[in-house]
A and B are shown apart, each in its own frame.
Chain A
Amino acid sequence: MSGPRTATAASKSRSRGGLLPVALVTPAVVLLLLFTIAPAIYAIFLSFRRMKVGKGLLGGGKPTEVWAGISNYTSTLSDSEFWASLGRMLLIAAFGVPLTVILSTLFALCLDAKRARLVGFARLAIFLPYAVPGVVASLLWGFMYLPATSPIGGDVVNYFGTKGIFFSVANVAVWGVVGFNMVILYTAVRSLPKELFEAAELDGATEFQIAVRVKLPMIAPAVAMVALFSVIGSLQLFNEPTTLKPLANAISSTWVPLMRVYTDAFVNNSIYEGAATSFVLIAMTVAATVLVSAVGRRIARRSTR
């Protein structure tokens, strides 16, 4: 990226006194501390506590919070339903992530092709689903899946079947994010120097060859980033199955890990176990992020060499 320019800007502002950058960053830092770091610390604290009711039939005394040690963690990790929910999430990620990356790359390269027409309209059309809020998108797809209201053959295909449900959920998720990722990749393609393509063309490369042999390797870092986004996104899968849940018997309230966190905290009223489960999830998310970005960097480095 534009390394030298940012460097000069930084040194310039430093020479004018360090106050402005500090002032500019402060709101973000304060917000981060208040709404992310502080609740996270409180959640860690909660994950080691539990509720104990008072004496009497309905706990006549005040319910008290007591120290729970690691019991919340052990009960999460030893619960087969937790691992099942993790399995479902991974299964959906196994469809969703590659599909998102492949489709958004394909769309970006197609839009950049010389022969592409109606580029502005197509770009908008592909991006539009991203502008639809996740809950609305899930409801909309829910109507399309249900036999009584389906325009896409819901009375023939069982979209809420034991196997079909995975495809149905992944489809909603992919539909929603492909546009956003396409924009990232499209921007990356557009910022490549045009001379390269002209040179390739003079050398007799076809449009397809340029796309695959020249453009694709050069946007590899961006593709890796898109993959990373998709992995993190699939770990946070919640909206789609939660919204589809009331429509069919196929989705339970602990269908994916985040739904379990929600159910623990807000249905079964055990924020303690919910906090513990979310910390297990955070650990997994960090691990996945490190892994994907390491692999992504390696691939990117090899392809630009």
Chain B
Amino acid sequence: MNLRKSAALGAVLVLALAACSSNDDSPSATGSSATKGEKVNLTYVNWDGGMDKVVDEWNKLNPDIQVKLSKPSGTGYTLYNKLITNNKAGTNPDITEVEYQALPALIANQVVVPIDDYVKGLDTKYDKASLSQVQFEGKTYGVPQNVCPMVFFYRKDVFDKLGLKAPTTWAEYATVAAAIHKADPKKYIGNFTAADPGWFAGLAQQAGANWWKADGDTWSVAINDEASKKVANYWDDLIKKGLVSPQPNWSAQWNTDMNNGTIVGWVGAQWGPNQLPSIAKDTAGKWAAAPLPAWTAGDTAVGIWGGETEAVTANSKHPAEAAKFVEWMNSSDAGMDSLIKNVQVFPASPQGQALPALKTPPPFMSTQPDYNTLMATAAKGVRTFDIWGPNANVTFDSYSNAFGAALQKKTALSGALDTMQEATISDMKKLGFQVAG
């Protein structure tokens, strides 16, 4: 009896192992290159809400090139580092979303491929600032999807009640912050977040910082430059005076504070209304957007926070078809129209910025009909870094640690910038990049 049992157990095991291994034949194994008339299946990974509807539209229009969307288990660098790891095993999806600041890292790790052979004429459709986010060393790695100028969101109802107006300069921001805090010591105009390196980078861009520069094959890094320190010192002052909250974004604490009116402003970016429903659902219709406060009155320069493109991976067996999808999504009227309606994207392409879909504001900002006009104006003043570094992931991780520690220990925020500079340069040198200085 025992023997029979163990034989049965063995059979089960063999079956289980067979079941495991049969999982391996992924759709990409069906054919190495697409011949005419053959159906191509592509896989696409993206975390944005509403993206499924955009993909559905493509699938309806292109029965021969079917795209399957999947959500990654983690967003941002969790996804990118998974892509870098999977690249070796050859298991990456055909297409992935990439935020602009992560693209150089994916290129340096050979995760994504140039699409110049498949997508033509981008130079005529986009301005230089947008193209500089996707073109490196004369090659194009994606079609720019959106531009995310930073703006200032505020609770119009609260500001009106206190007789306050949205600040137009950072000096005014400090004054308004004090007025709000004085009227109700529990209320804050906003928070300084150690959880969002992209947020601080955007503010530094506005102040004139240029964290990375490329000269030939040599990098120079200036994360702790004067402009960035000016931004750090400004917020340091507000935190020390207790006028802004030091709580990080995206925590339960911040969500609650944003929802119940403890925090009545948010230095955010164009995509804010897409996120606000899950942060502060009870406050729909109470927010308004205003231009980001400037350092000197009348200056229209703003930084960007976020923004992304879609890239074709080195693992893809159908790069031509994948590039076609990327081009449709980000530079055709139908694709951009769908992105605006379903994902509330503000397109990078001037042609897309003229689409009628932008005449209606995002649902969360229903009380501000000119929301997208404001974004278009802000987009004209966008000022970014020359280039994102090839290890922005290390810089960003270092930001969270160094600024988190500075807030915790109440030491000078500008010191955190020195830590970031050091961490970034030493990692670049270790990887073998040429660094000046």
Contact of B251 among A20, A50, A246, A263 (CB under 8 A): A246
Cα–Cα distance between A69 and B25 once the two chains are bound (Å): 38
Q: Does chain A have a CB within 8 A of B6? A: yes
Q: CA A60 – CA B107 in complex, angstroms? A: 8
- Please tell me if the beta carbons of B217 and A148 are within 8 angstroms of each other in the complex: no
Min C-beta distance of A242 to chain B, whole Å: 12
Please report the C-alpha to C-alpha distance between residue A148 and residue B258 in the assembled complex, in whole angstroms. 11
Whether B162 sits at the interface, judged by CB under 8 Å, is: no
Contact of B110 with A246 in the complex, beta carbons under 8 Å:
no
State whether the Cβ of B136 lies closer than 8 Å to any Cβ in chain A.
yes
Assembly CA distance A36 to B332 (angstroms)? 50
The docked-state distance in angstroms from the alpha carbon of A24 to that of B5 is 11
Evaluate contact between B253 and A269: CB separation under 8 angstroms. Answer: no
**Interface class of chain A by DSSP:** loop
Q: Is the CB of B110 within 8 A of A63?
A: yes
Interface residue SS majority, chain B: helix
Residues of A215-256 whose CB lies within 8 A of B: 246-254
Count how many chain B residues have C-beta atoms less than 8 Å from C-beta atoms of the other chain.
Answer: 55
Cβ-based interface call for A187 (8 A): no
- B390 with A249: CB separation less than 8 A: no
CB of B75 closer than 8 Å to a CB of A: no
Whether the pair A27, B13 counts as a contact (CB closer than 8 A) is yes
A149 within 8 Å of B (CB atoms): yes
- Near A by CB (< 8 A), chain B positions 66-85 give 77-78, 81-82, 84-85
Interchain nearest-CB distance for A272 vs B (Å)? 10
Give Cα A60 to B433, complex, Å.
11
- Assembled-state Cα–Cα distance A263/B78 (Å): 10
Q: Is the CB of B252 within 8 A of A142?
A: yes
Spot the interface stretch: A51-59, A167-175, A283-291.
A51-59
| Cβ-defined partner of A246 (8 Å) among B3, B105, B250, B393 | B250
Which of B48-56, B264-272, B400-408 is found at the contact surface with chain A? B400-408
Known interface pairs A51-B431, A250-B408; A63-B109 also in contact (CB < 8 Å): yes
- Among B84, B137, B400, B427, chain A packs the most CB atoms within 10 A around the CB of B400
Which residues of chain A have C-beta atoms less than 8 A from B409's C-beta? Answer: 162
Check A57 against B137 for contact (C-beta < 8 Å).
yes
5 shortest interchain CB distances as A-B pairs: A148-B256, A249-B404, A252-B401, A146-B253, A52-B432
* A27-B13, A249-B194, A267-B77 given; 17 more Cβ-contact pairs under 8 Å: A16-B2, A23-B6, A23-B10, A24-B6, A53-B431, A56-B137, A57-B137, A57-B214, A59-B433, A146-B251, A148-B252, A248-B247, A263-B397, A267-B81, A267-B397, A268-B391, A269-B105
Residues of A with Cβ closer than 8 Å to B?
Answer: 16, 19-20, 23-24, 27, 50-53, 55-60, 62-63, 142-143, 146-149, 162, 246-254, 263, 266-269, 271
A-B contact pairs, 30 of them (CB 8 A): A19-B3, A20-B3, A53-B431, A53-B433, A56-B137, A57-B214, A57-B219, A58-B108, A58-B136, A58-B137, A59-B390, A59-B432, A142-B252, A146-B253, A146-B256, A147-B253, A148-B257, A149-B252, A149-B256, A247-B252, A249-B194, A249-B246, A249-B248, A250-B408, A253-B397, A253-B400, A253-B401, A254-B401, A267-B394, A268-B427
